[in-house]
Amino acid sequence: MALKAYKPITPGTRGLVLVDRSSLWDGKPQKGLVSGKSATGGRNAHGHITAWHRGGGHKKLYRFIDFMRNKVDVEAIVERLEYDPNRTAFIALIKYTDGEFAYIIAPQRLSIGDKVISSEKADIKVGNCMKMINITVGTIVHNIEFHVGKGAQFARSGGTYGQIVGRDSGKVLVKLSSGEVRLINGECRATVGAVSNPDQKNVNLGKAGRSRWMGRRPVNRGSAMNPIDHPHGGGEGKTKSGRQPVTPWGKPTKGYKTRRKAKPSDKFILTRRKK
C-alpha cells in the first residue's frame, strides 16, 4: 500500500498523510468472525483511570484473528484483504477447502486468490505457516510463537518481521525488527513474510480531531502543571524541573529500565535490542 498525501484545501488536510486503502475490501467484516467490543476509557473496575489519555473514539467490532494456525495440512485461498481498526496490520480473510473461514494477519505481497497452508513442513512461500526448525535460515517471518501451541506473540504489528539467522540443537535464532536476537524452540510456528502496511509509521494525522476519532485524548506536559499535579510542575514561567524526568507518581522515566532483574526469559535473549 502507498501513502496518500492531501492538498491543503482545509486546515485539517494541511500536512495530512494517510495510508491508501482503496484496494482493501470496503464492505462489512465476515459474519461469525466478529464480536462487540466495549471501550473502557482507560478505567478499571473501580472507575479509576489506570491508562491515561484514552476515551471517546469510534465504535469498533473486534475481528477474531487466527494466531494459532492449527488447522494443519488444509489448503486455504485468500478471499479478500481488509482493514482492521484494532491493529496497524491489514488482515486477510481465507477460506479453507472444507468451507471454513478465518482471519489471518496479512503479510506483504499476499494477493487475493493466493493459496496458503499451515503444515509441519511447507513451501517457503508468503503466508505459509510451519515449524521454525523447518524454515530455511535467512527467511523473513512474522507471527512468531514463543511457547509451543500458545499462538503468535512476536512480529504482529504493521511492517514488523523477524529473520531466522541460525539453528542450534533444536532451537532457532531469530533476529527481531528491534535488533534483539532470541533463542526460540524450533517446534514453535511462524509465518513466512513480513507484516503488511509498513507505511503506517509515516502517517501524519493532520489534526487533533483525527486522534480523538481513534480514542486518544490530549496529553499535557508535566512542566505545564501545578506542583500538586505533577513533580515537574510549578515555578515562574518556563522552568526546568531540577530533577530527572519522572512520571506523575515520581517513578523515573525516559529511558529508565523497568524490566525485572533475573526474568526467566532472559536466558533466551542473546543480543539486546538497539538502544
Taking 70 as the threshold, does the pLDDT of residue 177 lie above it?
yes
DSSP code for 46? T
Mean pLDDT of 40-64: 96
Residue 244 scores a pLDDT above 90? no
Maximal C-alpha separation, the chain: 71
- By CB atoms closer than 10 A (0-12, 13-18, 19+), residue 62 is middle
Alpha carbon distance 57, 38 (integer Å)? 11
What digits encode the pLDDT tens for the residues 208-236?
Answer: 999 999 999 999 999 999 999 999 999 88
- pLDDT average, residue stretch 43-67: 96
Which three three-digit cell numbers place residue 56?
471517546
Per-residue model confidence as pLDDT tens digits over 122-137 = 999 999 999 999 999 9
Class for the domain spanning 3-201: mainly beta
pLDDT one-digit tens code per residue, 248-261: 999 999 989 888 99
Query: What's the per-residue H, E or C state across 102-160?
Result: EEEECECCCCCCCEECECCCCCCCCCCEEEHHHCCCCCEEECEECCCCCCEEECCCCCC
Percent of the chain scored above 70 by pLDDT?
99
Q: What is the mean pLDDT of the chain?
A: 94
Mean pLDDT of 183-211: 97
Count how many Cα atoms sit within 13 Å of the Cα of residue 53 in the half-sphere of its side chain. Answer: 7
pLDDT at residue 243 in the model: 76
Least confident of 25-29, 33-37, 70-74, 166-170: 166-170
How far is the C-alpha of 85 from the C-alpha of 93, rounded, in Å?
Answer: 15
Segment 86-96 mean pLDDT: 98
CB 184 within 8 A of CB 221: no
Residue boundaries of the structural domains of the chain: 3-201
Give the DSSP H or E segment for 213.
helix 208-213
Q: What is the pTM of this model?
A: 0.91
Q: Which residues pair with 18 in a beta bridge?
A: 4
Proportion of the chain above pLDDT 90, given as a percent: 91
Output the CA–CA distances (angstroms, integers) from residue 155 to 1, 25, 81, in the order listed: 19, 24, 19
Quote the CA–CA distance of 107 and 101 in Å, as a whole number.
18
CA–CA separation, 192 vs 109, rounded Å? 11
Confidence of residue 1 (pLDDT cuts 50, 70, 90): low
Q: Tell me the sheet residues that pair with 118.
A: 129
CB 238: neighbour CB atoms within 10 A?
7
Q: What whole-number distance in Å separates Cα of residue 67 and Cα of residue 57?
A: 26
Top pLDDT among 151 and 274 is at: 151
**How many C-beta neighbours within 10 Å does residue 222 have?**
16
Question: Tell me, what's the pLDDT at 274?
Answer: 76
